[in-house]
Structure 1
Amino acid sequence: HKRIALLYFFTTLAFFGAGGVEALLIRTQLAQPNGKVLSPDEFNQLMTMHGVTMIFFFIIPMTTGAFGNYLVPLMLGARDMAFPRLNALSYWLFLGSGLFLYTSVFLGKAPNCGWFCYTPLNTRTFDPGLNVDFYALGLIFNSMSTTAGALNFIVTVFKLRAPGMSLNRMPLFIFAILAVSLSLIFALPSLTTDLVFVELQRKLGFHFFDVAHGGDPLLWQHLFWLFGHPEVYIIILPAMGIATSIIPTFAKRKMIAFPLVALAELLVAFIGFGVWAHHMFATGLATTTLVFFAAASMMVVIPSAIQIFAWLFTVNLGRPDFRAPLLFIGGFIALFVIGGLSGIMFAAIPFDQATTDTYFVVAHFHFIIFGAAVFPLLGGLYYWFPKVTGRMYHERWAQASFWVTFVGTVVTFFPMHIVGLLGMTRRVYTYEPHLGWDAYNLSETIGAYILTAGLLMIVANLLWSRFRGVPSGPDPFYGGTLEWATTSPPPPYNFAVIPRVSSPYPNWDREDREEDVRRFERGMLVLETGHETPASTVRDGFLDEVLDMPSEYRRARARGVARKGARRGMSSVPYAQRVARPNGWWGIAVFVATEATLFGTLIGSYFDLRFKAHHWPPPGVPDPKIAVPLILTAVLVATSVPMLLSVRFARRGLAGPTCAALLVALVVQCGYLAMQIHLYVDDLHHFSPAATAYGSIYFTLVGAHHAHVVVGILLNAWLLLRFATGGSRYRLVGLEATAFYWYFVDVLAVIVTLTQIYPSL
Structure 2
Amino acid sequence: MNDIPASPAASDRPASATVPRRPRAGRLSRVPETGTAPLDEATLRRLQEMWETRPGWRGWLSTVDHKTIGLRYLVTAFVFLVLGGVEALIMRAQLARPNETLLTPEQYDQLFTMHGVTMIFLYALPVLSGFSNYLWPLVLGSRDMAFPRLNALSYWVFLGAGILLYASFPAGQGANAGWFNYVPLSTAAYDPGPNIDVYALGMVLLGISTTVGAGNFVITFLRMRASGMSVARLPILVWGTLTASAANLLAVPSVSLAFFMLWLDRNAGSHFFDTTADGRPLLWQHLFWIFAHPWVYVVVLPAMGIVSDALPTFCRRPIVAYAAVALSTVATMLVGFEVWLHHMFATGLPPLALAFFGAASMVISVPSAIAVFAWIATIWTGKPVFKTPFYYFAGFVLMFTVGGVSGVMTAAVPLDWQLTDTYFVVAHLHYVLLGINVFPVLGGLTYWFPKFTGRLMHERFGKWTFWVTFIGFNLGFFPMHISGLLGMPRRIYTYPEGMGWDTANLLTSIGAFVFAIGIAMFIGNALVSARRGARASANPWNAAGLEWATSSPPPPYNFAILPSVRSRDPLWQPDANVPRPGYLLHRGREALGVTPLMGEPDVILKMPEDSYAPFVLGVASTLVFVGLLFHSTQFTALAGLACGLALLSWLWPRRSLGQREPFAPQGTTPAGKVAETTAIRSEDETLALPVGSAGEHAGGWWGVLTLVVTETALFGYLIFSYLYLASQSAQPWPPDGLPKLGMSGLNTALLLTSSVFVWLAGAFVRRARSWPAFWSMIAGIALGIAFVTIQFFEWHDRPYGLATHLYGSLYFTITGFHMAHVMAGVLMLAALAFWIARGYFDGRRDAALTIGGLYWHFVDVVWLFIFSVLYLSPYWMRGR
Shorter-chain TM band? over 0.9
Q: Which residue of 1 aligns with 2:708?
A: 592
Paired letter, 2:488: M
Q: What CA distance in whole angstroms lies between the structure 2 residues aligned with 1:59 and 1:510?
A: 39
Q: Which residue of 1 aligns with 2:800?
A: 687
Which stretch has the larger CA shift, 152-161 or 624-633? 624-633
Q: Which residue of 1 aligns with 2:536?
A: 472
Query: What are the Cα deviations for residues 9-62 of structure 1, in whole angstroms up to 9, with x where unaligned?
Result: 111111111001001001011000111111110000000000000111001011
State yes or no: 1:529 paired with 2:587. yes
Bigger RCO (CA 8 Å, 6+ sep) = 2
How far did residue 647 of structure 1 move?
2.1
Paired letter, 1:136: A
State yes or no: 1:673 paired with 2:788. yes
Q: Which residue of 1 aligns with 2:83?
A: 18
State yes or no: 1:602 paired with 2:715. no
Q: Which residue of 2 aligns with 1:741?
A: 855
Change (3 A) 1:378 1:575: closer
Which stretch has the larger CA shift, 3-12 or 186-195? 3-12
Q: Which residue of 2 aligns with 1:2?
A: 67
Q: Is the 8 A contact 1:640 1:743 kept in 2?
A: yes
Q: Which residue of 2 aligns with 1:204?
A: 268
How far did residue 648 of structure 1 move?
2.1
Q: Is the 8 A contact 2:316 2:384 kept in 1?
A: yes
Q: How does 1:190-589 map to 2 (within 5 A)?
A: 190-511=254-575, 514-516=578-580, 519=581, 525-552=583-610, 565=676, 568-569=679-680, 571-574=687-690, 581-589=697-705
Q: Is the 8 A contact 1:5 1:70 kept in 2?
A: yes
Q: Which residue of 2 aligns with 1:663?
A: 778
Query: What are the Cα deviations for residues 563-610 of structure 1, in whole angstroms up to 9, with x where unaligned?
Result: 884865285255799895432111111100000000000000001110
1:105 aligns to what SS in structure 2? coil
Q: Which residue of 1 aligns with 2:31?
A: none
1:650 aligns to what SS in structure 2? helix
Q: Is the 8 A contact 2:734 2:874 kept in 1?
A: no
Structure 1 gaps of 5+ residues are: none
Q: Which residue of 2 aligns with 1:699?
A: 812
Q: Which residue of 1 aligns with 2:37?
A: none
State yes or no: 1:38 paired with 2:103. yes
Q: Which residue of 2 aligns with 1:626?
A: 741
Paired letter, 1:531: R
Q: What CA distance in whole angstroms lies between the structure 1 residues aligned with 2:149 and 2:738?
A: 47
Q: What CA distance in whole angstroms lies between the structure 2 residues aligned with 1:704 and 1:732?
A: 29
Q: What CA distance in whole angstroms lies between the structure 1 residues aligned with 2:675 and 2:837?
A: 35
Q: What CA distance in whole angstroms lies between the structure 2 residues aligned with 1:224 and 1:367?
A: 21
Q: Which residue of 1 aligns with 2:765?
A: 650
Q: Which residue of 1 aligns with 2:196?
A: 132
How far did residue 754 of structure 1 move?
1.0
Q: How does 1:116-127 map to 2 (within 5 A)?
A: 116-127=180-191
Q: Is the 8 A contact 1:655 1:727 kept in 2?
A: no
Match of 1:722 among 830, 835, 846: 835
Q: Which residue of 1 aligns with 2:247?
A: 183
Change (3 A) 1:724 1:348: same
Paired letter, 1:693: L
Q: What CA distance in whole angstroms lies between the structure 2 residues aligned with 1:567 and 1:495?
A: 20
1:689 aligns to what SS in structure 2? coil
Q: Is the 8 A contact 2:695 2:846 kept in 1?
A: no
Paired letter, 1:603: I
Q: Is the 8 A contact 1:527 1:567 kept in 2?
A: no
Q: What CA distance in whole angstroms lies between the structure 1 residues aligned with 2:840 and 2:144?
A: 26
Q: What CA distance in whole angstroms lies between the structure 2 residues aligned with 1:203 and 1:42?
A: 25
Match of 1:751 among 858, 861, 865: 865
Which stretch has the larger CA shift, 722-731 or 622-631? 722-731
Change (3 A) 1:147 1:431: same
Q: What CA distance in whole angstroms lies between the structure 1 residues aligned with 2:371 and 2:220?
A: 25
Paired letter, 1:690: A
Which stretch has the larger CA shift, 563-572 or 74-83? 563-572
Q: Is the 8 A contact 1:723 1:731 kept in 2?
A: no
Q: Is the 8 A contact 2:239 2:329 kept in 1?
A: yes
Q: What CA distance in whole angstroms lies between the structure 2 residues aligned with 1:513 and 1:48?
A: 54
CA root-mean-square deviation: 1.9
Paired letter, 2:603: E
Q: Which residue of 1 aligns with 2:218?
A: 154
Q: What CA distance in whole angstroms lies between the structure 2 residues aligned with 1:99 and 1:601?
A: 28
Q: Is the 8 A contact 1:40 1:429 kept in 2?
A: yes
How far did residue 397 of structure 1 move?
1.0
State yes or no: 1:63 paired with 2:128. yes
Q: Which residue of 1 aligns with 2:621?
A: none
How far did residue 338 of structure 1 move?
0.7
Q: Is the 8 A contact 2:695 2:850 kept in 1?
A: no
Q: What CA distance in whole angstroms lies between the structure 2 residues aligned with 1:513 and 1:231?
A: 42
Q: What CA distance in whole angstroms lies between the structure 2 residues aligned with 1:513 and 1:8?
A: 34
How far did residue 144 of structure 1 move?
0.3
Paired letter, 1:569: I
Q: What CA distance in whole angstroms lies between the structure 2 residues aligned with 1:125 and 1:708?
A: 32
1:514 aligns to what SS in structure 2? coil
Paired letter, 2:513: Y
Q: Which residue of 2 aligns with 1:48?
A: 113
How far did residue 658 of structure 1 move?
2.4
Paired letter, 1:546: I
1:35 aligns to what SS in structure 2? coil
Q: Is the 8 A contact 1:336 1:368 kept in 2?
A: yes
Query: What are the Cα deviations for residues 269-303 of structure 1, in whole angstroms up to 9, with x where unaligned?
Result: 11100010010000011111111110110111111
Q: Is the 8 A contact 1:416 1:440 kept in 2?
A: yes
Q: What CA distance in whole angstroms lies between the structure 1 residues aligned with 2:674 and 2:190?
A: 69
Q: How does 1:82-101 map to 2 (within 5 A)?
A: 82-101=146-165
Q: Is the 8 A contact 1:78 1:494 kept in 2?
A: yes
1:125 aligns to what SS in structure 2? coil
How far did residue 654 of structure 1 move?
3.2
1:544 aligns to what SS in structure 2? strand
Q: What CA distance in whole angstroms lies between the structure 2 residues aligned with 1:3 and 1:563?
A: 30
Q: What CA distance in whole angstroms lies between the structure 1 residues aligned with 2:708 and 2:83?
A: 36
Structure with greater helix share of residues = 1
Q: Is the 8 A contact 2:605 2:691 kept in 1?
A: no
How far did residue 727 of structure 1 move?
3.3
Paired letter, 2:713: T
Q: Percent identity?
A: 45
Change (3 A) 1:319 1:664: same
TM normalised by structure 1 equals 0.95
Q: Is the 8 A contact 1:500 1:512 kept in 2?
A: no
Paired letter, 2:828: L
Q: Is the 8 A contact 2:328 2:371 kept in 1?
A: yes
Q: Is the 8 A contact 1:722 1:731 kept in 2?
A: no
Q: What CA distance in whole angstroms lies between the structure 1 residues aligned with 2:833 and 2:478?
A: 63
Paired letter, 1:57: L
